[in-house]
Amino acid sequence: MFQKTLISVLTAFFVGVAAHGQVLHSVHAGASGVRYGVDETPGSIYEWFVEDGGVISEYFNDQIEVDWGLQGGIYEIKVVETNIYGCIGDTVRAFVEVTDRFDFDPFPPVVEICEGEIYVFDAGEGFVSYLWNDDSDFITRTFATGEAGTYWVQVVDENGLIGTDTVELVVHPLPFVDLGPDTSLLISENILLDGGDDGFIYDWSTGDITQTVRIYGTDAPITVSVEVTTMEGCSASDTIFIDLDEEIRLVIPTIFTPNDDGVNDTWIITDNDGQELFVNYPKAVVEVFNRWGEIVFRSEPGYPTPWNGTYRGRPLQMDSYHYVITLNEPGARDITGNITIVR
């Protein structure tokens, strides 16, 4: 005697038992690994048949797993039992409704972000449920992450139709930027700052766009920053403060009064210890120009005789004059500025 055989669905999402020839349950097109089974009779062998809408991916005698195709419809599952005595029972049938998927494509194939950024995937509104690849939520339309990988979402609309979309998230690294610790320079020294690897886009606070920038002691004190951007648009920055070394700091007056009163009659340039220019820079040359660019004074090396505000022995009128101090030291850059004569 054969017991009455019923086909049941054994997935976590659909539980039920179908009487002979009835619709067992609904499943979305493309569903895979859906398990169906019967109550096993010891010693019996079960032969399964699935209509063209699906294929048997796993076989366990009294159970099977089915991968359903992408075409919606109602498809038949059949099973025939042969008992331990070789008797063949009736063919038992049940039907599975495969629901069509709908056009659902909220994401591009690839999304690119930079390291440290968070991207929020939005599946859109108006769906009954949302299932993200980490099984985190069935109701939230968004999913946020900053980790590279492949992500997918499955949505169900009010008609029970299912849509799925997949996207790859690519995370580009930030450029490595390190200008080094804050430092100081002698006025005759310089330092080469490097923005990092070659082939990036560089934006220096000095206005330069090259990979490296040279800073001179004559520029100090100065704060220099750089923003480096990769070809993927990822940016990083760094800042360095460069001070002028207190060991030798030039003191350059911006005004003097050559009126022969014995006070401030000459333009004396010293260091921070009061030593005149030639002591530390014996090859330095000082030049002074009028507003038309004509030279009105040029010193001997070392500036041994401070300028007294005359040109060819005659006093110059009160005005502002441009100066250039050339230290003539390796790596040193010219020092420029303005000096005003007041009488």
Segments forming the whole domain that contains residue 237: 183-244
Judge if 302 and 335 occupy the same domain. yes
Say if residue 7's pLDDT is above 80. no
Alpha helices of 253-326 — where are they, by DSSP H? 277-280
Question: What's the pLDDT at 159?
Answer: 67
Is 177 within the bounds of a domain? no
Answer yes or no: is 317 within a domain. Answer: yes
Q: Decide: 295 and 288 in contact? Cβ < 8 Å.
A: yes
pLDDT digits (tens, 9 = 90+) for 275-292: 898 888 899 999 999 999
CATH of the domain at 300: 2.60.40
81 and 161 belong to one structural domain: no
Is this prediction's pTM over 0.95? no
Q: Across-strand partners of 99?
A: 28
Q: Which range (12-26, 152-166, 288-302) has the least confidence?
A: 12-26
Whether residue 23 is found in the same domain as residue 95:
yes
Q: Are residues 150 and 201 in the same domain?
A: no
* Four-CA torsion 300, 301, 302, 304, nearest 10 degrees: -20
User: Tell me, what CATH number does 117's domain have?
Assistant: 2.60.40.10
Whether 295 maps to a domain, the answer reads yes
Give the tens place of pLDDT for each residue, 29-50: 777 788 888 888 899 999 999 9
Whole-number Cα distances in Å, 46 to 16, 37, 57, 193, 232: 20, 10, 16, 78, 58
134 and 64 belong to one structural domain? no
